[in-house]
Structure 1
Amino acid sequence: KIETYIGPPSIEAGGSDYTMLVVIPTDSLDNPITNNTLVSAKYQFLETQEEKDIFTKNLIAYKKIYSQNESGRMLVSSECLNFNSKEFTINIGASIPTNFTISDKRSHDHADGNQITSFLTSVIKDKHGNMVSDGTYVNFFITNKNGNILKTSGITIGGIATSQMIHPDHEDVWSVKAYVNGMAESNVLTLNYKQVINDFEVIFTNNNREITIGPLQSFMKQMIPDGLQVKLTIYKDNLPVQTLLNTSFNGFVDFSLKPDVIKNDIYKFSITTAGLEKTFENKKVW
């Protein structure tokens, strides 16, 4: 009979990585076969099929089987004294990926804080032209004009990774670069986003305790999509007393000031949204 072992089951393409076939032939009583007994190592890969002769020494016969430049699946078996092993499968995957390019898809270039920009890589390959394995992790780093960094990520399917990021809510410039960590990187993609809100109205009512911001209109004068963040900061003697955040609904944002927090007095109001700021000095609240 014949015992056959092989490993590792997955290796890299390129000719430098290998798997090892180990064969232990024995007689019917499980005694080892004498040295220099012929063992045939057989393997098939793509269009090629090979058979190599190896000989037992110190109870075993072994052979290193190196990968080729292409990726794929290799079948391996062995034969000794008319006994054949079972079939073994070795997966030959792509080696370290090489640099790649990225591109974008977006419905428009307006900074509406609502639409999505999609990022796509080219087909990522190794130096031998093999497509990287599905599931290869790609990180996309986005640097805006203030130097802040956003991050999104995706995994490859068919060699291509995709990811998405929501548009900024104010005019901005993004520099996007993608990485397969420690192995490969992309070109730098520059994206410009246009300001959509150039001004907004602020109305004070109910003894200046009710504040309404809006209408907030986008690039076609349509109401901005729900969810745009508006920040209200209230100062007394140039020190912040309270900061409130709210999001737009049907193009408007409302704030209500509670008497137990904002006492009757004179305050400064600062309202910020979509990269714009309006300030109201010496506003009396009663």
Structure 2
Amino acid sequence: MQLKRTYLFLLGLILLSSFAVVQHSETTKPITLLTTQTEYEVGTTIVLKFTASENEKPLLYCSNSYGSTLVSASLEGEMLLYHIPQNITKKIGVINWELLDKDTSISGQFNINPKAEVATMETYIGPPSIEAGGTDYTMLVVIPTDSLDNPVPTNTKVNAKFQFLASEENNDIFTKNLICFKNINSKKESGRMLISSESLGINSKEYTINVTAAIPTDFKISAKRPHDYADGNQITTFETTVIKDKQDNVVSDGTFVTFFITNKNQNILKTTGTTIEGVAQARMIHPDYADNWSIKAYVDGMSESNSLLLKYKQVIKDFDVTFLDKNRTITVGPLQSFMQQMIPDGLHVRLQIHKDGLLIDTLTKTSFNGYVYFYLKPAIYKNGDYNFSIQTAGIEKEFNTTKLW
């Protein structure tokens, strides 16, 4: 009898607990999403709504390309409200979210789209200099952005404007992948191109592109000189014709031109100049002895000139040399030019001193008032016989077995 009572008691407990579990499961409702909207305009207030469950407030995990955050819920009636932070709603893109509930697994995403407005125009252009002729180009890149610094929607129209010489052009380009761009080819002429852009009533600032001349073509050179005498004093000026490219554009100012001068001894002299309005000039002092010059100019690696031949006449036919003061003072002169005038100051005179068949010293001085003086100090040049060679203006005189005492 006692055993029967025990069984009945246990059976009653089992039935009672089963009823309580069923009742509890019937009263516990899972959390569900109430918000159906998935597209939002950037900058608007976004609130995700869920059904409430026994006053539980699980956190909402949100993630976008700028980072992740946790959002707390607020309870209003039988709804859970999650206010998405402004640092997320101000940036366009996809927002992924997940409700961190231990009993319910809910996740989803929504899109934040840009505004159809333009507040600023980010503009990039380069290179700033291109070559004339129609083959070279620069690229214009425009990024229209809204008031929250987000790129505008795809296919937003941007009007690119170009002004060059007497022509003006307008081209419509459309945004794609957040930007729009256009290649701008050069024209046949050189000059300055002005570029700007406009989108939805907002204009960019003005940009400048320099369209410079292309590779220069061959040119000619000429020479100007006060006379054709080799006086070692006057200046010969070399000048190019106007250097142009194949499109007949004048090359840019500052184009470097090198003049190579080959004399009759096959020695090479060099002088340089830069162009101003397409013309380059360079100068070289006259030789101090009769010589023939062959001149040719180059724009390095690009173009060259014709060859120019110049002849310089000898101005000093002869000169006197006087030995004084025990032959230790040597006077060279007078040195007279083509009109019997004294040669301009600065003519080089070289004295070579030989002893016992060996060159022991070389002294070089420049003329002053038509004369040059050498003094041989006894402390340096001991008494004895010497051979002297004096050279100036391409003329050489030798004095052998000259005694110093």
Aligned to 2:130: 11
Q: Which amino acid aligns with 2:393?
A: A
Aligned to 1:258: 377
What's the Cα RMSD here? 1.1
Aligned to 2:55: none
Q: Is 1:204 aligned to residue 313 of structure 2?
A: no
User: How far, CA to CA, are the matches of 2:398 and 2:146 in structure 1?
Assistant: 94
Higher Cα Rg, which structure: 2
The structure 1 residue matched to 2:339, chosen from 220, 227, 231, is 220
TM-score normalized by the length of structure 1: 0.97
Q: Is 1:133 aligned to residue 252 of structure 2?
A: yes
Aligned to 1:234: 353
How big is each residue's C-alpha offset from its partner over 1:207-246, in whole Å with a ceiling of 9 and x where there is no partner? Answer: 1111111111100111111111111111112101221111
Q: Is 1:20 aligned to residue 139 of structure 2?
A: yes
The structure 2 residue matched to 1:107, chosen from 207, 211, 226, is 226
State the secondary structure of the residue aligned to 1:177. strand
User: How far, CA to CA, are the matches of 2:359 and 2:173 in structure 1?
Assistant: 83
Point out the structure with the larger helix share. Answer: 2
Q: Which amino acid aligns with 1:206?
A: D
How big is each residue's C-alpha offset from its partner over 1:9-45, in whole Å with a ceiling of 9 and x where there is no partner? Answer: 1111111111111111223333322222221111111
Stretch deviating more after TM superposition (34-43 or 70-79): 34-43
User: How far, CA to CA, are the matches of 1:234 and 1:3 in structure 2?
Assistant: 78
Q: Map residues 134-153 of structure 1 onto 2, 5 A cutoff.
A: 134-153=253-272
How big is each residue's C-alpha offset from its partner over 1:174-206, in whole Å with a ceiling of 9 and x where there is no partner? Answer: 111111111111111111000011111111111
User: How far, CA to CA, are the matches of 1:31 and 1:235 in structure 2?
Assistant: 89
State the secondary structure of the residue aligned to 2:251. coil
TM-score normalized by the length of structure 2: 0.69
User: How far, CA to CA, are the matches of 2:371 and 2:122 in structure 1?
Assistant: 77
Structure 1: which 4+ aligned runs deviate by more than 6 Å?
none
Q: Map residues 1-286 of structure 1 onto 2, 5 A cutoff.
A: 1=119, 2-286=121-405
Q: Which amino acid aligns with 1:65?
A: I
Point out the structure with the larger strand share. Answer: 1
Q: Which amino acid aligns with 1:209?
A: R
Q: Which amino acid aligns with 2:269?
A: L
User: How far, CA to CA, are the matches of 2:265 and 2:162 in structure 1?
Assistant: 58
User: How far, CA to CA, are the matches of 1:191 and 1:271 in structure 2?
Assistant: 28
How big is each residue's C-alpha offset from its partner over 1:54-104, in whole Å with a ceiling of 9 and x where there is no partner? Answer: 111101110000000100111111111222211111111111111111101
Q: Which amino acid aligns with 1:136?
A: T
User: How far, CA to CA, are the matches of 1:63 and 1:160 in structure 2?
Assistant: 36
User: How far, CA to CA, are the matches of 1:247 and 1:37 in structure 2?
Assistant: 79
User: How far, CA to CA, are the matches of 1:262 and 1:3 in structure 2?
Assistant: 82
Aligned to 2:96: none
Q: How many residues align?
A: 286
Q: Which amino acid aligns with 2:238?
A: F
**CA offset at residue 110 of structure 1?**
0.1
- State, as a whole percentage, how many aligned pairs show the same letter: 67
Larger relative contact order (Cα-Cα within 8 Å, sequence gap ≥ 6): 1
Stretch deviating more after TM superposition (275-284 or 32-41): 32-41
Gaps of 5+ in 1: none
**CA offset at residue 168 of structure 1?**
0.3
